[in-house]
Structure 1
């Protein structure tokens, strides 16, 4: 029998097939046997490329964050460039909610290092602010994505309705929320974070307690 002109299995093709399996049956139903069936090969063939199931899942996590739009150079202001990258990463995970939890075990931070470096090069704040900005935007992005993905995978709303009698303040906050969808709310959350960074820089108080809370009329 003639050999195929190109190999039936590669790390990238196996990761694509594995992601499709996770989309269909979730992580609980994932197996190398299912991936092999999806690819039309025998399961032992996968072991030529992956030591075990965990190694393949790590490749899937990597696939989720490959070639994100927003990682290329752009003329947007610094803060909006970071917002664009955060939204891009969040969208990528929410396209595959069953696989999003892989970020907790196999987060491929090395794929983002060049983006971090590029962001730091144009960061208007001093270097001592840079890691706090990376930490804040990264955790906001992936925390938001994981909560939204978990709700999406279970078919439940990200935020339940609030009982107006028992939880009047939360009900009022939900009513007053001006954003129609979770992504718009997420974008504003990141922008608020950057507003806080700017104020922190203005005060020159890095590493110090925030101080008194702002009091608003009617709060």
Structure 2
């Protein structure tokens, strides 16, 4: 069947329909014929906006990852809290579509976040964070946020005591006791992980700066 001379659907409609199919039926069920039928067009109509299935999945990844909002916070000494909220927003966007987690892992391009990177680097600079730490912070935040959020999406919801599943109190008494005393949900653990990373970067930097500024011991 020849491709129609004019697009019958919008690019955004294709992306939204793709997400709906993946949310309801899973990634394995997603195909171009099914997508076309779902929208009510012929398959060639999809090629007005996308070259192939991979191009659609890449757009889906961009859409989901880009749905997280940028926190409104003034630069200052509490700058890590900006990134904590940014990470939580990103996690929430991913967990809205857990069936799409493998798409994000495979198709999410790093250049999607270039604008956000520049924005956050500017925020770091205005907060007094040394420039040589920016790459460490931004790269670490991406790896930590993406990896943890995708893991939570694949594993599904858990409670404070089921963070580690199938723990046997008899053969694993210490881990069982640790779970019983844990006060954090998966979201809380994620939040504290991000916070520990960011404040840890600055503690290491301050310790290094202090060490370098101390005078060397006098030789005997």
TM interval, shorter chain, is 0.7 to 0.9
Q: What 5-or-longer segments of structure 1 have no aligned partner? A: 1-5, 206-219
Q: Deviations over 1:28-54 (max 9, x none)?
A: 111011111221111121122211100
Between structures 1 and 2, the one with greater helix share: 2
Aligned counterparts of 1:74 and 1:109: Cα–Cα separation in 2: 24
Paired residue for 1:48? 48
Deviation at 1:7, TM superposition (A): 5.3
| 8 Å Cα contact 2:7/2:48 also seen in 1 | no
Q: Which moved more, 1:109-118 or 1:88-97?
A: 109-118
Give the aligned CA root-mean-square deviation in angstroms.
2.1
Aligned counterparts of 2:167 and 2:71: Cα–Cα separation in 1: 41
Q: What 5-or-longer segments of structure 2 have no aligned partner? A: 1-5, 210-220
Paired residue for 1:90? 91
Q: Deviations over 1:73-129 (max 9, x none)?
A: 433731111111111111101000000111111113223212221221222321221
| 8 Å Cα contact 1:61/1:103 also seen in 2 | yes
| 8 Å Cα contact 1:147/1:158 also seen in 2 | no
Aligned residue pairs total 195
TM-score normalised by length of structure 1: 0.81
| 8 Å Cα contact 1:94/1:149 also seen in 2 | yes
Q: Secondary structure at the match of 2:154?
A: helix
TM-score normalised by length of structure 2: 0.81
Determine if the alignment matches structure 1 residue 138 to structure 2 residue 139. Answer: no
Larger Rg: 2
